[in-house]
Amino acid sequence: MLILFGVFLITNLIAQEGSTNDCKYLIQLKSELKTHFDTKVHPNLKVTHDELISQLDDRDKKMVIALRQKQKLVKAERMAMRKIAKKVKASGKDIAVWKKANKAKIEKNNKHQKEINDKLKELSTKNKTAILASYNKLIPQNKVWKEERQKIKKTYSQYECVQEAKITKNKRGSKEEGIKLRKSKRNIKRNKKKIVPKQRKIKANPRGKARMHQAAAFLLWDATGKKAPTLGAIEGNTESTNDLDLGFTNSTEK
């Protein structure tokens, strides 16, 4: 299985809801996980990221800064639209009507995202050796970090309120489950309409492509320390992980 650089936002590692906000053990768990990220994960990520950026020429360095800024704006706009769409769906209104009314905005956002993806592909092709070297350097470190995080979580797993938080998180469903559900719904629609899905070409090395996608996206990490890079295309998967399929183009930096 391909390995992500670092971890997701610390605040998303364990869900909180209702009375779990008052769970002192959950607060302590989150605090320890954040300390682990701040003291062990982030410093190492930043060193590797700085080394990678230092190997780029001046033109590419400026390109990375420009793409990073543009990605933030595009992502903010996309997330704002998804937030509105969720409210529309929750109100019982027809989401298809909302999508049609906002089609131009969605297409504009997709256009900007595609421009970012194309430029990042250009950068990653030019700097492939340096990017993959950074990725491979972090693989063994990430394995250690993962084991350390699991050890911290296990320490607090005995407490009931922590277990409740985990149950709440599981009820929301994983991203993988969401992807399977959307695929199932698409297959049902195809069967009803008797649509034959297009045959995909068998790629020579799909895992290698996914690995390169992750490594290239590391370029756009802003290294502020607020969160680690959360990179897409795991195991070659490029499906949207949002519960509302609004037709957005996938970003390379999420």
Amino acid at 147: E
Between 15 and 143, residue with greater pLDDT: 143
Give the C-alpha separation, 159 to 26, whole Å: 9
The pLDDT tens digits of the residues spanning 46-104 come to: 999 999 999 999 999 999 999 999 999 999 999 999 999 999 999 998 999 999 999 99
Residue 3: pLDDT above 70?
A: no
- Structural contact between residues 148 and 224, judged by C-beta atoms closer than 8 angstroms: no
Give the pLDDT of residue 21.
59
Q: What is the pLDDT of residue 77?
A: 95
Q: How far apart are CA 85 and CA 79, in angstroms?
A: 10
- DSSP letter for each residue of 156-200: HTTSHHHHHHHHHHHHH--HHHHHHHHHHHHHHHHHHHTPPPPPP
Residue-wise pLDDT tens digits, 192-219:
555 555 554 444 444 556 667 777 888 8
pTM score, whole prediction: 0.68
For 9-45, what is each residue's pLDDT tens digit?
A: 333 443 343 344 578 989 999 999 999 999 999 999 9
Both structure tokens of 166: 């985990």
Element (H, E) at 129: helix 128-156
> Does the pLDDT of residue 238 top 50, yes or no?
no
pLDDT score recorded for residue 23? 87
Q: Provide CB contacts within 8 A for 227, sequence distance 6+.
A: 8, 9, 10
Helix (H, G, I), strand (E, B), or coil: what is residue 99? helix
